[in-house]
Chain A
Amino acid sequence: MIQFLGDVLGYLLDPSNWTGARGLFSRIWEHTSISGLGVILAGLLSLPPAVLLAHRRRGEFLAVSAVNLGRALPSFGVVGVMFPITLSIAALTSPLGYWATLIALVLLAMPPMFVNAFTAVRDVDDSLIEAARGMGMSESRVLLGVEIPLGLPLIMAGVRTAAVGVVATATLGAVVGYGGLGRYIIDGFAQGNDVLIFVGGLLVALLALATEVGFGWLEKKVDPLRSRRIRPPRIPTLRDTGIRTHP
C-alpha cells in the first residue's frame, strides 16, 4: 500500500509527466475547458427560459419533467448515443469524441440549472412581486430588479450542482476518444497500470471538489441579503447637503 502511494507520488512529482500534449497540464486543460464550455452552454440554454417561464408562472410541467429527466438521464448512455451521431456529421468529427462529450455534458447540466432557476424565481414572495408591480415596475424590471437578485443564491446552487456533475462526467470523454483526465483511467485499465487509474481518479475528484468549493463561495457572494450584515456606504442625506426643501 505504502509502495503504491509512493509510486503515485513519484508519478505526480515527475515533471516530465506534467508537460507535453499528453501531460497532466494538457489533460487538466482539456478536462476543465470542455467542462467550462458545457456549463456555460447549458446555462445559456436553460437559465433564460427557466426565469422567463417562472416569471410568467408557466411551465410547471416542464420544470417537473426536467427534474425527472435529470434524474433518469444516464450520462454514459448519452455519450454512447451522441458519439455515432456526431461522427455522422462531418463538421463534428474532429477532434474525435469532442462534440459527443460536449453535448452529453450540456444535456446533463441543463436539468438542475433549469429546475433551480425556475424554482428560485417562482418562489419569490408573491407580495413582493405585487408591490413591485403596483408601484409601476415594468415586467423586465420586476424580473431583473426583484426576482433574479432574490433568486440568485438558489440559481447559483443549481449551477454549482450542474458544474460538479459536469466535471465528474467529463471523465467519460475518454471513452469516445476525447482527452481529459478520463484518459488516465482508460489507459490505466488498458495497461493494467493502477497508478495511472489512481492519478486520474484523484485529479477528477480534486477538480470536482474545487468546483464545489468555488461555486459555493460564489453562491454566498451573490446573495443580495448577505449585505444586510455589512453596513453599506451611507447615502448622503439632505442634512449633509444643507439644503432644505419644503414638503
Chain B
Amino acid sequence: MPNVPAIEFRQVEKIYPGSSAAAVTDLSLEVAEGETVALIGPSGCGKTTLLKMVNRLIEPTAGMIRVFGNDVRSSNPVELRRGIGYVIQQVGLLPHRTVAQNIGTVPELLGWDDRRVWARVDELFDLIQLDPELRDRYPSDLSGGQRQRVGVARALAADPPIMLMDEPFGAVDPIVRKALQQQFLEVQKRLGKTTVLVTHDIDEAITLADRVAILNLGGILEQFDPPMAILRDPANAFVMSFLGHDRGLKRLSLLPISSVKLVKGPAVSRSASIEEAREMMERWGVDWIALADGDVLHGWVPGEELDGASDLASLALRRFESWLTSDASLLDALDVVVSSRTSAAAVFDGDRYLGMLSAETIGREIVT
C-alpha cells in the first residue's frame, strides 16, 4: 500500500481523569515512513502524552491512532510495543542486567535464540560505536552519554520500523548532547527509521527533524512544517515567540553556503595591472585585493602595498586565513566572515576556489 503514513493521529483528544482541561485537543498529524518528526512545545503541551499514545502507554480519550494503517487499539499493547523502539530521557536501563543483556532485552522477549541475540548485540555495539569492553559491565559503570547510547541501541535491537524518543538527549551535558545528536543523524542516515522525537530544545528539533510539530498548551498543533519553513514563515505569534529572537540565525544554521550565490570579487587576475586592481578595490569599497585565476586563489594583498609596486606578480601574497568549504552552514560562515579582517571569506570545494562569501550576502539571508 503506497502512501500509507507510518503513524497517523486522527482527531486525537486526551483528557486525563480528574482533569477538566484537555492534554491533547483534536489533533491530527501524519508521519511519513522514514521521516523524523520532532514534537516540541512548552511543558503541558501534551507532547509526551502524544508520543506515549503511539505505543499505548497512554490511551486517547477520543480519536484514532494508526501505525502503518492499523488502528493501534486493534493490537495487543505488549506485541505492539515490541515492534516500536522506545527511548526515554532517564534511559531506564535495568541495573541488575549487563549492558549486553539490556541491549538484548527485546530480541529476548521476542524469543530469539541466544546466538542470534548476541550477534545482534555485537552489531549494535558497532553501530553506536560503543567499546565492546563494556558489554559485560553494568549500567552503573557507564557515563551518562554511554547510557543514552545504550538506551538507543536497546530500542534499535529488534530493528523496529518506528522509534519513539522522549527527550533522548535531555539528561546529558551540552557537549555530549551535540555528539549524540551527530551520531543520531549518522545512524538515521543509514537506517532511515520513522522517528518521533519529543524535545523542549528548538535547536535540537531543527537539527534532527525533517518536520517539526509545534504544540501549544492543551495539545493544540500550531504548526507542522519542515524546520526551514517554520523559521521562514512562522504560522502565528505563538510560533514566532517560541522560535525566539534568533530565528534568523537559526535559519542560517540550516542553509549551506552552496545555497547562496558567491561573488567573484574583489579579485583580479595575477596578470592584471596595478590600475585594474585599484579600480576593483574602489568598486568594492575595500582596502585589499585578492588575486585569483579561474578556480585557483593565489592570495591577497593590502591596498597600501600597491603603492610604488611595478606589477602585481612582484608582490608578496598573504594567504586567506578565513576560508570555508561549500558544505558549511551560513551560520558557521557568518562567524568566520565577521571575525575576518577582509569581511569576506574564500569558499572552496575541496581544492577548488569557488568565490567569495561576503557579510552582505549572509545579511540578505537573515532578512528574508
Contact = CB atoms under 8 A, between A and B. Distances in A.
Interface stretch (A58-66, A67-75, A135-143, A173-181): A135-143
Nearest to B55: A134
Interface stretch (A9-17, A87-95, A105-113, A232-240): A232-240
Given A133-B81, A232-B98, A238 B119 contact: yes
A235 B138 contact: no
A225 B96 contact: yes
Given A137-B109, A236-B118, A241-B115, A131 B88 contact: yes
B62 interface: no
B303 interface: no
A223 to B, nearest CB: 9
Contacts of A132: 92, 94
Given A136-B78, A238-B119, A150 B98 contact: no
Contacts of A136: 78-83, 106, 109
B132 interface: yes
Interface of A: 125, 127-138, 141, 146, 149-150, 224-225, 227-228, 231-232, 234-239, 241, 243, 245, 247
Contacts of B100: 235
A238 B155 CA distance: 20
A78 B201 CA distance: 62
Contacts of B141: 228
Interface residues of B, number: 40
A136 B157 CA distance: 13
Contact of B96 (A130, A133, A138, A150): A150
A218 to B, nearest CB: 17
Interface string B93-117: 1111010110001100100000100
B11 interface: no
Interface of B: 55, 57, 78-83, 86, 88, 90-96, 98, 100-101, 105-106, 109, 115, 118-119, 122-123, 126-127, 132, 135-136, 138, 140-141, 151, 154-155, 164
Nearest to A236: B118
Nearest to B122: A238
A129 B86 CA distance: 13
Contacts of B88: 127, 130-131, 134
A130 B119 contact: no
Contact of A238 (B82, B101, B118): B118
Contact of A131 (B79, B83, B86, B96): B86
A245 B115 CA distance: 12
Contacts of A129: 92
A133 B164 CA distance: 13
